[in-house]
């Protein structure tokens, strides 16, 4: 089975010298076909980079070893970024950027690639005012949350508030996953007492959620009080 990266690599090689005529109003000019294609979006506003950011390209076991000789060294995300870097700043209809998609799907490798090459995409916000970090916490992506919390360079985004005033810690309390909450709670840069639009701090939220039967939520309450 051909991997997405291998198929994309072949396609890019075939089309690398092809140009297409683009017309806007009464003007027409030629641009590289690949630049044109990587800027196009579907009915949901998703570009090829959005889709590439959602791909889990790792293959386990014997199949992985067998494919090493046939797989391109670059991931689909890296290949597309080499063609059109501006796509990293192109949101879909929900205001989600490729880094939000990668975070939502728990694709840490893509998140790292994007953050290293474009550090400012860490502060990009979707239509709900959420950064990729908010999304990672809400979707319970432990690997991404741990990665961010363990690196001092991400301190500026730890306490960002979304459109509802929720920080990542608010969302962690709502999610009730202790490992995610713990990663945030142990980071001294995380503020414990920021209020959201309802005037609730993470501590207040934890108290409200006490009736929940999940043990992890009760442990969170004890940590915050």
Q: What is the mean pLDDT of residues 177-201?
A: 94
3-state secondary structure 27-92: EEEEEEHHHHHHHCCCCCCCCHHHHHHCCCCCCCHHHHHHHCCCCCCCCHHHHHHHHCHHHHHCCC
Q: CA-CA distance, 61 to 63, in Å (whole number)? A: 6
Beta bridge partner(s), residue 19? 32
- pLDDT mean across residues, the chain: 84
Q: Over 90: is that where the pLDDT of 93 sits?
A: yes
Q: Over 70: is that where the pLDDT of 79 sits?
A: yes
pTM greater than 0.85: no
Q: CA-CA distance, 21 to 1, in Å (whole number)? A: 35
Tell me how far the alpha carbon of residue 123 is from its chain's centroid. 11
Of the candidates 49, 180, 159, the one whose C-alpha atom is nearest the C-alpha of residue 114 is 49
Of the candidates 118, 111, 164, 117, the one whose C-alpha atom is nearest the C-alpha of residue 141 is 111
Q: What is the mean pLDDT of residues 195-213?
A: 83
> What are the DSSP E strand ranges found in the chain?
19-24, 27-32
SS3 assignment, position 175? helix
Per mean pLDDT, which range of 2-6, 12-16, 59-63, 120-124 is the poorest?
Answer: 59-63
Strands 19-24 vs 27-32: parallel, antiparallel or unpaired: antiparallel
Q: CA-CA distance, 169 to 9, in Å (whole number)? A: 40
Q: What is the mean pLDDT of residues 66-75?
A: 54
Q: What is the mean pLDDT of residues 189-199?
A: 95
Beta bridge partner(s), residue 24? 27
In the prediction, which pLDDT does 211 show? 58
Q: Which two tokens stand for residue 190?
A: 């995380």
């Amino acid at each position: 089975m051909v991997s997405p990266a291998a198929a994309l690599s072949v396609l890019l090689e075939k089309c690398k010298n092809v140009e297409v005529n683009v017309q806007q109003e009464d003007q027409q000019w030629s641009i590289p076909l690949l630049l044109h294609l990587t800027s196009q979006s579907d009915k949901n506003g998703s570009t090829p980079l959005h889709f590439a950011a959602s791909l889990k390209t790792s293959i386990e076991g014997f199949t992985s070893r067998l494919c090493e000789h046939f797989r391109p060294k670059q991931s689909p995300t890296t290949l597309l970024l080499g063609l059109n870097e501006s796509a990293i700043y192109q949101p879909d209809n929900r205001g989600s950027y490729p880094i939000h998609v990668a975070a939502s799907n728990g694709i840490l490798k893509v998140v790292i690639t994007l953050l290293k090459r474009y550090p400012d995409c860490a502060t990009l916000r979707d239509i709900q005012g959420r950064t990729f970090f908010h999304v990672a916490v809400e979707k319970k992506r432990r690997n991404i949350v741990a990665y961010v919390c363990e690196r001092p360079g991400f301190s500026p985004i730890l306490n960002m508030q979304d459109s509802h005033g929720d920080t990542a810690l608010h969302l962690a309390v709502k999610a009730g996953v202790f490992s995610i909450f713990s990663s945030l709670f142990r980071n001294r840069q995380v503020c414990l007492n920021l209020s959201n639009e309802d005037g609730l701090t993470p501590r207040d939220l934890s108290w409200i959620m006490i009736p929940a039967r999940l043990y992890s939520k009760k442990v969170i309450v004890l940590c915050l009080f």
